[in-house]
Amino acid sequence: MKYVVILPDGAADEPLAELDGKTPLGVADIPNMDWVARHGRLGTVQTVPQGFEPGSDVATLSVLGYSPAKYYTGRSPIEAAARKIKVGPDDVVFRCNLVTIVDGRMEDYSAGKISTEEARKLIDELNAQLGGDDIEFFAGVSYRNLLVVRSAKELDPHLTPPHQIPGKPVRSYLPSGRGGKTVQGLMERSQQILGEHEVNQVRRDLGENPATSIWLWGHGHMPTLPRFSERFGLSGAVVAAVDLVRGVGRLIGWQLIDVEGATGYLDTNYAGKGAAAVEAVDRYDLVTVHVEAPDEAGHDGNAAEKIKALERIDAHVVGPVLEKLRSFGEEWRILIAPDHPTPVSSKVHTSDPPPFCMAGKGVKTVTGQPFTEADAAESGMHIERGHELMEFFLKP
């Protein structure tokens, strides 16, 4: 048997007046996803358990078969695992976004999608002025960077993801709780350093959003996850550009597959991801493909771009993968599962159960409906504990 899981991040949405009451999934031309839904099972899954913030970290763990209640320790250590950053048992890892704050409001959680080269220069400067034996910044991709605080068991503040507060006054969301003042102090000290840096001076001259501050969130200690092969008896590989998904893959023993031009944005190399997945199917029992673009479009509040992203995923990833799987006769299954909704109207993640569809050997057709949120909700199938979706997908 061959298995493929496709994760169109944040693809689920809510009905939009500009789309005549339909969602981007309901409007997009996605014949391959619709084929999977019509010829297999369609349903909804609660990927974010009660009491958890609706983040891709929690939701991705659920979809890949790992209970957040049992294994989740924070987003940032998962990303650190992707980069092979050494993290001790008492170290705390923070996501360190470069953000744009204007007049006390969160103007841009990504500092204008700042380039990786520019971000690296800023992170190097922060290390030079704020870093030391106990504090180290690590440059990542664009605005997505990390901070490791060594021997910091006492740090456990309440933090808010910047992408959840677009346009809101940041004073209402500053770090609080145990160690909150320490974290807030780092954020405040970064502002003078960044404000004077030549990278930001150039960005202002070009009319681009400058990185006015760091924003720390998603902290935690390094988790220990059982290997996927030990739990399910299958080898695995993951095609992804974002460190969060790559980190989960590394922690559960999957092979990480790099794709040139895979950016984690709307301009990602869709065809390259599809081709990499097709090639990987020959070598691994289960291949997972993650595409961040629909989530980015949702955060931008851009329905048209979200529709384009879904259509590109369908044409360049789902289509080629389906064609490859059919070459194995009947010995295959495919699962398409957004991790969570990122509605265009609100621009933030929600905990609502997203739709999923699966097809292949032993999967009986039930509704024969296309892949939309409404059809999934009316299918009669709902998986309340999201981490059980993988078991359902892989069951004999």
CB crowding 370-384: b at 16 or more within 10 Å, else e? bbbbbbbbebebebe
Sheet holding 255-257, edge to edge: 255-257, 236-239, 286-291, 2-8, 332-336, 355-360, 41-45, 382-383
Question: What is residue 35's predicted lDDT score, i.e. its pLDDT?
Answer: 98
Residue 32 sits in the same domain as residue 174: no
Helix ranges (DSSP H) in the chain: 24-27, 31-38, 56-63, 68-71, 75-82, 116-130, 180-195, 198-205, 228-232, 243-251, 270-281, 293-299, 303-313, 319-326, 373-377, 388-394
DSSP, residue by residue, 296-322: HHHHTT-HHHHHHHHHHHIIIIIHHHH
Give the CATH number of the domain where residue 336 resides: 3.40.720.10
Confidence of residue 256 (pLDDT cuts 50, 70, 90): very high
Mean pLDDT of 138-156: 94
Mean pLDDT of 236-247: 96
Burial class (CB in 10 A: 0-12, 13-18, 19+), 356: buried
Alpha-carbon span 392 to 45, nearest angstrom: 11
Residue 111 sits in the same domain as residue 252: no
Domain ends where: 178, 199, 220?
Answer: 220
This prediction has a pTM of 0.90
| Residue 330 in domain | yes
Residue 213 sits in the same domain as residue 228: no
| Residue 81 in domain | no
Burial class (CB in 10 A: 0-12, 13-18, 19+), 117: exposed
Residue 121 sits in the same domain as residue 215: yes
- Residue 396, pLDDT above cutoff 90: no
- The string of pLDDT tens digits covering residues 54-97 is 999 999 999 999 999 999 999 999 999 999 999 999 999 999 99
CA 386 to each of CA 61, 66, 100, 116, 171: distance values in angstroms, whole numbers, following the listed order: 9, 9, 34, 34, 34
Mean pLDDT of 25-45: 98
Rg (CA), the chain: 21
Question: What is residue 141's predicted lDDT score, i.e. its pLDDT?
Answer: 87
Beta bridge partners of 355: 44
| Residue 276 in domain | yes
CA 393 to each of CA 2, 125, 203, 267, 283: distance values in angstroms, whole numbers, following the listed order: 12, 47, 47, 31, 20
| Cβ-Cβ contacts under 8 Å for 242 (sequence gap 6 or more) | 141, 144, 264, 290, 292
Question: What is residue 148's predicted lDDT score, i.e. its pLDDT?
Answer: 98
Mean pLDDT of 387-394: 98
- The string of pLDDT tens digits covering residues 293-337 is 999 999 999 999 999 999 999 999 999 999 999 999 999 999 999
Domain ends where: 220, 255, 272?
Answer: 220
CA 73 to each of CA 31, 57, 127, 289: distance values in angstroms, whole numbers, following the listed order: 38, 10, 25, 24
- The string of pLDDT tens digits covering residues 151-201 is 998 899 999 999 999 999 999 999 999 999 999 999 999 999 999 999 999
Q: 63 with 8: CB under 8 angstroms? A: no
Residue 46 sits in the same domain as residue 116: no
Number of domains in the chain: 2
| Residue 84 in domain | no
Domain ends where: 220, 246, 262?
Answer: 220
Q: What percent of the chain has pLDDT over 70?
A: 100
At 296, give phi and psi (nearest 5°). -60, -40
Residue 187 sits in the same domain as residue 234: no
* Structural domain harbouring 144: 92-220
DSSP, residue by residue, 312-352: HHIIIIIHHHHHHHHTTTT-EEEEE--SSB--TTT-S---S
Residue 168 sits in the same domain as residue 236: no
Residue 352 sits in the same domain as residue 277: yes
- The string of pLDDT tens digits covering residues 100-136 is 999 999 999 999 999 999 999 999 999 999 999 899 9
The amino acid sitting at 252 is I
Q: What is the mean pLDDT of the chain?
A: 97
Alpha-carbon span 328 to 18, nearest angstrom: 42
